[in-house]
Chain A
């Protein structure tokens, strides 16, 4: 049995946004972190490992430096990593990304007892589309917005947190779950984990490795396979510090002084 966790390296929201001339983001120039919801997905997988001893595989699509993130996730307890990386994959939107990730997950192999975990959404695009799209393309049942997961045999009982309430449902493995921050508290990297993570296996899947999968066609991946067109990316202008007023009278006074009323 194994848990496959799909993760994404995203720009650190503390840092600045760099934009390429074509309007897309220049990720190589930006500080990065692991997408926060994906850490909840990893934690869910590691909890399953604590209970059942299952294998935890982390998979990401990104440029070669994304290996650093995978190693950190192995330092938290993942057993091995898969880095999906190739020029052909560059510029993918959510549709193309999920084609590629689904092919990668296929190559890792989803057994009858396996669970695929994703974060709910990435803090850069905020689409929440890739997880559900992977499930559709792999013909796996999906449960989104998981706030609690219990496993008994091949059945998971998942509590979904929705805007106006909860929904609890049961799903059989294999399945795909998208996780929210309320699900758990991600663990820290451990020191033995840090000092052994570079000895753990890491595979790189390039275009050659995935091209035989029916999901991978030149017009389903990369910029060419992406129906989304980015019009413009930019850093929102910095606003000056506001001013707290203590009464309506004070506010009216200020507006009056500026001849606005």
Chain B
């Protein structure tokens, strides 16, 4: 199981993947709004999304857990 963490602080604008869905490395799985910019967050690795730890509109700080991805 691997963890995808926030690379910077911001607000979750939308979630582009669903729990149970297979994602590939480099695929945008979330958009964070920060510094008035829309920032795509890409999966650093492929696998099945096990859990989404954030919700739209919520604040995330740098280093916060966004998704857990299984094999």
Q: Is B truly associated with A?
A: no
Interface residues of B (CB under 8 A from A): none
